[in-house]
Structure 1
């Protein structure tokens, strides 16, 4: 028997390949399905099932393309009603996988159709639980996502369902069962996930706050609902794509991988509403970029920030990427449903420079330079980290303006005033500055190294409690 977790760090997402006696199942596949097909081919196995734990909100699953390419059955549990052919498995139904079996366990709570899949070996021994978003390592699935699709499913209603699902169906399983969740730390599908991506159920019973044996229903509902922040705006759109269907990734790539010369790129940018997305690292963007482009670096939390900051999932996008990484960018956009990439700048930004096209820059300062300036004048700082990060520690007079909420507060900035912008390390601050620069704010200076560098320098006073300062 083969169990392989195929983990994608930028989404904090775990897909799974399970194989027994030449028969394979894929659980919660990503949009690009060729790696699963290749793995089965190398092993001389055939993919029989595509098992979906629920309608995902944070990424577009690859179930449709994988089914089309392999003939495998798409399997959901009870209460799922997608708009394509699928197999509706009953609660407790056993799906044969070679000599092994996979038992479908309906666990409503994160969503009403949520299921876990329990793998048993040929003797019937429970081996592994693929828990989807029902049970994470250190946490459980948030109960506030389905309301966007079905208003009657309030967080309290779903939290109560989740309580009974965990107590009645998951916690009675043997302690040595290995839990393999759909997500790990960094995912917005939970609030307190650990960095580990698997664990025994027995250890989780002792360490996961939501699995306390003496926890009452009311305590569970209250604790699960406490501390939830608003989910990314793109989540409901991904749910609908997973329910209703979507274009083949092959077609999305064919459209996005349209090589545009600098002149052709400029024409498309000027004559359409396409957004120019520069995916190079922040330092390269600062040194020079195409006017009105925004920077979300491919080597950071790319897909989640795209989803959080580009409000229209159907937005046409022109891509600026490092040469050779164009397909990677377009694929990662498609992972979260941004399928309308319409071309990329052939030869990258360097080719734009060679063509003599107009460019803009972002001014950056080192902490050493900033220390000299701060001794000479009072500086205005904007801290674009999350509120929880700011509350933990911050510069005393820094204005907290989380990147997540940039559109809500930017009108309160004075375009003629100079602000020094920082995040934790420099990734988010460049995104922030690029968005505002594209909207006519040119007096924003990036602090290289972010708050980490400011703190380590010892030159700036740090407040480690919430101080009542003006908030934007």
Structure 2
């Protein structure tokens, strides 16, 4: 009997899988921190004999090469992919025996040119499941613009035919196990939110199956928004062959050295809750609350050549952040400081700013005309914003923060998370910041939402 276990990486919106027959197992699209996969294999009592990649990933650094080396497993990577390491090439139609199971490669280009899906056959030869990577997702498909803008139209047409091929060739009861689609920017549109699906269910709900080809292509391309800039680094790193992960704790940094780094303008990142950061933080530090969106927005704004120091309440919090960051190839840590914030300030004092909500902003409007910054993405802003607000997406803010004036500045986003990062980037003497820690729908209830042509800051 086949047992399929999921290794979820919620911060990146991805899932890896371990499929076993009780004795041997195959890992599909493992993340870089492979200890999670190894622990799962030990839990189910199966030895990993194969590791399979559906594609050269654009949103994280793979652990496949390291996992295969650690276990002696066969490493399956599409024969058409140009890579800088030894692998077992596999191509459309090839089958690989994994204990009593078989893994069949199916070419499903679209998310990348050489994308593969893997049908998993049980000992009777029945297709029990299909691992679809960035092809067929739950109620949507993988985005098609990550390889090159010049290839997007071609790949979108290919994606349409790939999803239809899976439905044509596989039984309706086969379970679908995508890698992307759980909040990942690799999805072309948000996935359905379902925790599972089958080929048959997708045949009735997936846009690649319910729209004609040109409608599908036009709709998908029109809906593509910005994606994290660090994606440009992931594909080349994965094709070259990533180094094994190193989760050695960063060196401790004492308060005096921490102050020196802050005064030098280095990246010193505070991992605490956003309201705790607002209530008191070291001058010059950046607030990136360690929660689900952390790694995506950190990678989107971080200077990968910069020195990075982490501030956490505990060593465990720092370790959790480090694990998130190595998944996108951030390996160089200049150090870390932990403990109560007042023990780290080294005489420099703390900065703070108030936290409010959309009703609080509405009340401020009744008295004065504050500057309001919208830190959401372009596609969110397209449907409107707070009236009179200026739009600078978070990922552009470091380069454009001089466009934000001195004086009173209120900052909002869709939930308060990105606004908190933006506020930390803007915090300096002369600005009186207010963090709007509130959900965007509440702006309409407060009478603030404007669906007309949104205001933007000039470049």
Q: CA RMSD in A?
A: 2.4
Q: Could you tell me which residue of structure 1 aligns to residue 368 of structure 2?
A: 377
Structure 1 residue 352 displacement after superposition? 0.8
Structure 1 residue 175 displacement after superposition? 1.2
Q: Could you tell me which residue of structure 2 aligns to residue 346 of structure 1?
A: 338
The 8 Å contact of residues 382 and 454 in structure 2, kept in 1 or not, is answered as no
Alpha-carbon distance change, 321 to 125 in structure 1, aligned in 2, over 3 angstroms: same
Q: Could you tell me which residue of structure 2 aligns to residue 128 of structure 1?
A: 129
Q: How many residues align?
A: 455
Q: Could you tell me which residue of structure 1 aligns to residue 204 of structure 2?
A: 206
Structure 1 residue 14 displacement after superposition? 0.7
The 8 Å contact of residues 63 and 244 in structure 2, kept in 1 or not, is answered as no
Could you tell me which runs of 5 or more consecutive residues in structure 1 were left unpaired when the two chains were aligned.
none
Write out per-residue CA displacement over residues 280-300 of structure 1, whole angstroms, 9 at most, x where no aligned residue: 111111111122111111114
The alignment status of 1:163 with 2:160, answered yes or no, reads yes
Q: Could you tell me which residue of structure 1 aligns to residue 181 of structure 2?
A: 184
Q: Could you tell me which residue of structure 1 aligns to residue 434 of structure 2?
A: 445
Tell me, in whole angstroms, the C-alpha distance in 2 between the residues paired with 1:268 and 1:383.
30
The SS at the match of 2:419 is helix
Q: Could you tell me which residue of structure 2 aligns to residue 333 of structure 1?
A: 325
After superposition, residues 42-441 of structure 1 pair within 5 angstroms as 42-147=43-148, 154-192=151-189, 193-212=191-210, 215-216=212-213, 218-250=214-246, 253-254=247-248, 256-269=249-262, 274-310=266-302, 312-323=303-314, 324-347=316-339, 349-353=341-345, 355-365=346-356, 370-392=361-383, 394-407=385-398, 409-414=400-405, 416-437=406-427
The 8 Å contact of residues 359 and 443 in structure 2, kept in 1 or not, is answered as no
Tell me, in whole angstroms, the C-alpha distance in 2 between the residues paired with 1:159 and 1:114.
13
Could you tell me which runs of 5 or more consecutive residues in structure 2 were left unpaired when the two chains were aligned.
none
Tell me, in whole angstroms, the C-alpha distance in 2 between the residues paired with 1:370 and 1:221.
41
The SS at the match of 2:344 is helix
Write out per-residue CA displacement over residues 97-134 of structure 1, whole angstroms, 9 at most, x where no aligned residue: 21111111121221112110101111111110100001
Write out per-residue CA displacement over residues 125-177 of structure 1, whole angstroms, 9 at most, x where no aligned residue: 111010000111111111111128xxxx6111222332333334543321111
The SS at the match of 1:286 is helix
Tell me, in whole angstroms, the C-alpha distance in 2 between the residues paired with 1:376 and 1:294.
31
TM (normalized to structure 1)?
0.89
The 8 Å contact of residues 300 and 427 in structure 1, kept in 2 or not, is answered as no
Tell me, in whole angstroms, the C-alpha distance in 2 between the residues paired with 1:275 and 1:261.
16
The 8 Å contact of residues 13 and 183 in structure 1, kept in 2 or not, is answered as yes
Structure 1 residue 398 displacement after superposition? 2.3
The SS at the match of 1:122 is coil
Write out per-residue CA displacement over residues 332-354 of structure 1, whole angstroms, 9 at most, x where no aligned residue: 1111111112210132524214x
Structure 1 residue 469 displacement after superposition? 4.0
The 8 Å contact of residues 225 and 378 in structure 2, kept in 1 or not, is answered as no
TM (normalized to structure 2)?
0.92
Structure 1 residue 408 displacement after superposition? 5.4
